[in-house]
Amino acid sequence: TAAMASRALNLFTICRRQFGTTGSLASKVAVLGASGGIGQPLSLLLKQSPLVSQLSLYDIQGVKGVAADLSHISTKAEVSGFDGPASLSDCLKGSRVVVIPAGVPRKPGMTRDDLFNTNAGIVADLITAVAKTCPKAMICIVTNPVNSTVPIAAEILKKHNAYDPRRLFGVTTLDIVRSNAFVAEAKGLDVSKVSVPVIGGHSGVTIIPVISQAVPSVSFKAQDRETLTTRIQNAGTEVVNAKAGAGSATLSMAFAAEKFVDSVLQAIDGKRGVIECAFVESTVTEAPYFSTPLLLGRDGVEENLGLGNLIEFEAKLLQAAMPELQQNIAKGVKFVKERY
């Protein structure tokens, strides 16, 4: 029996080595809009993740080529491409995580809300398929205007009895990535160690960087804090203007979306203490959806960590964000009520 016990222990050690101390099951991840400016580099980054077993790529054009190309990369994730609506449910079948960067991006002079008419319907249709095919998936919405597309997704999921607020996220990670980069640059810090929460929504004044809660803590003169805040709020437009009609942020967005999806996958895999900001259903403010730091677990949001302490300047930003945020949310809800 001593020999048996020792063999069992050895087997256990081997298993732990092979599968890690947390979970063991890599997940199927679907990317909807995978041929696009964000979709392609995002799929490339996800192809490198050891937490992805299958990478299922969907678009209404050009996705077979993207899938063939990525499938030659010598990493574990198995890649398949699905072209057009008839193949959407095959793409989604069995997905643990669905990331949605499908839809049109901004051109100079446009606000994110200007994308509503085109992108609202795209998100509604894609989410309908998710509700029918993989209702338990974690859904990460990149498509703008995020302040409206998340409520749209929630309303569609409710209609199919498939809504779980713990599993629906608007991806705001790019705002955090930008804040980390800009704060590190301004203060000469190692950017890999900088973490700035960003709360609220994902458009203009609804983007609320909480620099007072940055780790490590940093201090700014009032004027510099204001300039930096405005730059973070308008950083998307900086890229739109620099691309001069060729689209909006794609590479930094792909990085940000992969970072967020990786955190979701780590949490699914059993890692404890995973925290990300995202735009979710919320009771933290009077807005029914709001982004704050969230503790993620196997089933999605485990705990909303709330606003924390805001300095007066940030409390004013919060006040200024509310009307636009509430309007964007109401517009999304109304769209589904009237059309579906």
Interface contacts to ligand NAI, rule CB under 6 A: 32-33, 35-39, 58-61, 101-106, 115, 119, 122, 126, 142-144, 146, 171, 174, 202, 247-250, 253
> In angstroms, rounded to a whole number, what is the distance separating the alpha carbons of residues 251 and 41?
7
> In angstroms, rounded to a whole number, what is the distance separating the alpha carbons of residues 258 and 238?
22
> In angstroms, rounded to a whole number, what is the distance separating the alpha carbons of residues 289 and 226?
25
Does 96 show up as a binding residue in the annotation? no
Between 102 and 196, whose beta carbon lies closer to ligand NAI? 102
Our separate counts of H helices and E strands in the chain read 11, 11
- Distance of closest approach, residue 43 Cβ to ligand NAI, in angstroms: 11
Does 178 show up as a binding residue in the annotation? yes
Between 26 and 67, whose beta carbon lies closer to ligand NAI? 67
- Distance of closest approach, residue 59 Cβ to ligand NAI, in angstroms: 5
The DSSP element (H or E) to which 314 belongs, if any, is helix 312-339
Does 99 show up as a binding residue in the annotation? no
Residue 212 backbone phi and psi in degrees, to 5: -65, -20
- Distance of closest approach, residue 69 Cβ to ligand NAI, in angstroms: 14
202 is catalytic: yes
Query: Taking Cα atoms as reference points, which of 101, 94, 103 lies closest to residue 56?
Result: 94
- Distance of closest approach, residue 155 Cβ to ligand NAI, in angstroms: 18
CB neighbour list of residue 234: distance below 8 Å, 6 or more residues apart: 204
CB neighbour list of residue 250: distance below 8 Å, 6 or more residues apart: 36, 37, 38, 41, 105
Does 119 show up as a binding residue in the annotation? yes
Between 26 and 157, whose beta carbon lies closer to ligand NAI? 157
Cβ 214 vs Cβ 191: under 8 Å: no
Does 246 show up as a binding residue in the annotation? no
Cβ 161 vs Cβ 132: under 8 Å: no
> In angstroms, rounded to a whole number, what is the distance separating the alpha carbons of residues 221 and 225?
6
Does 270 show up as a binding residue in the annotation? no
Between 13 and 61, whose beta carbon lies closer to ligand NAI? 61
- Distance of closest approach, residue 48 Cβ to ligand NAI, in angstroms: 19
Does 236 show up as a binding residue in the annotation? no
Does 112 show up as a binding residue in the annotation? yes
Half-sphere exposure (Cβ direction) of 253: Cα atoms closer than 13 Å: 27
Residue 278 backbone phi and psi in degrees, to 5: -160, 160
> In angstroms, rounded to a whole number, what is the distance separating the alpha carbons of residues 49 and 64?
21
Between 31 and 211, whose beta carbon lies closer to ligand NAI? 31
- Closest CB to ligand NAI belongs to which residue? 36
- Distance of closest approach, residue 177 Cβ to ligand NAI, in angstroms: 9
Between 104 and 333, whose beta carbon lies closer to ligand NAI? 104
Here the tokens at position 153 are 């997704």
The DSSP element (H or E) to which 127 belongs, if any, is helix 116-133
Catalytic residue among 202, 235, 287, 290: 202
The distance in angstroms from the start CA to the end CA of the chain is 65
Query: Taking Cα atoms as reference points, which of 118, 170, 198, 130 lies closest to residue 280?
Result: 170
- Residue list for the binding site for substrate: 106, 112, 144, 178
Residues with catalytic roles:
202
Annotated binding-site residue numbers for NAD(+): 33-39, 59, 119, 142-144, 253
Residues marked as binding? 33-39, 59, 106, 112, 119, 142-144, 178, 253
